[in-house]
Amino acid sequence: MADDLSKEQLKPDHPDRKTGYERILTDPAPPWFVELYPGGDGAGFLQKLERHSVLFHQRSASHLVVSFDNIANANDLSFAREPWGWKFFRDEGWSHMGVFARTKAWYRDPEIISYFQNRAAEGFFDHFDRVVFAGASMGGFGALTFSGLVPGAQVIAFNPQTTLDERLVPWETRYRFGQVQDWDLPLGDAAQTVNTAGKAYVFYDPFFDLDRQQVTRLQGENVVLLKTWFSNHFAAPMLRKLDILKPVMLRAMDGSLTSDEFYRMMRARRRLPMVMRAIEAQAGERHPHLVRQARQRFRALRRAALAESSE
């Protein structure tokens, strides 16, 4: 455990150094515990593994979403930690299996791989009419690869990596702690597993070169690549700022999201300051005249939006 902690976390007075018993006394219970504690109204389980944990909530009898942590959540030792997307899936009434990652290992762990293989073999996922695998970045990799165990499942992946196997992506310079994992284990390349998905919705910024190179490895008629221009590695936060993340997720979850519909919703990005800053950074020196025009248009759209909101 100590190897997974930062220097700050290793200090004796850091809250992450408290025992679990101490955190129970000082921190509120995680929201998901309200459903699953012995007096709760929900049904499900928490399966604790060495490097991962699996939390399952049985809600809908027909719809299940399986989500995977990203690297921002790995090493989070807080007592109130939630699986990726937990509140959203709870509010929509979907059954939810959330995978917690204890380390930034890209799910290159025989134990979690065997866990899902066994669940698939015993028919756990067959109990649901619709299964969706979802996640962002490292979690997007998990969604794309582990969905291969459930043919026909939908996939929603924001800024995913397809693999960190240096033999396949020698140009990938990020995530050294992921590259050193065992890439000979099963489920190590999304380019090989994606062809079994129903639809695989993949969101990425085409101007962010490494993400673009990763997702363009995904081929097939079932792959829907959706561009979130100027979002960098933060497609989901951009959609949240635009207030379109929920409708995009709902349509992707039932497989009805189309590229035309998505890009109509994405037109709202023209009012985002982060987009204007990105345009200036990308093209300020090469195309100053076009950038000035874009800035004028941006200001006009912002003024119109403010006027509309004040009415």
Q: Quick check: 67 and 96 in contact, CB under 8 A?
A: yes
Each residue's pLDDT, cut to its tens digit, for the chain (311 residues) gives 445 555 665 454 555 555 666 666 667 788 899 899 899 899 999 999 999 999 999 999 899 999 999 999 887 877 788 999 999 999 999 999 999 999 999 999 999 999 999 999 999 999 999 999 999 999 999 999 999 999 999 999 999 999 999 999 999 999 999 999 999 999 999 999 999 999 999 999 999 999 999 999 999 999 999 999 989 999 999 999 999 999 999 999 999 999 999 999 998 776 766 666 766 666 566 767 766 766 677 677 666 666 666 66
Q: How many CB atoms lie within 10 A of CB 168?
A: 15
Q: Quick check: 150 and 199 in contact, CB under 8 A?
A: no
Question: What integer pLDDT is reported at residue 280 of this predicted model?
Answer: 67
Question: What integer pLDDT is reported at residue 87 of this predicted model?
Answer: 95
**What's the topology of domain 2-269?**
Rossmann fold (3.40.50)
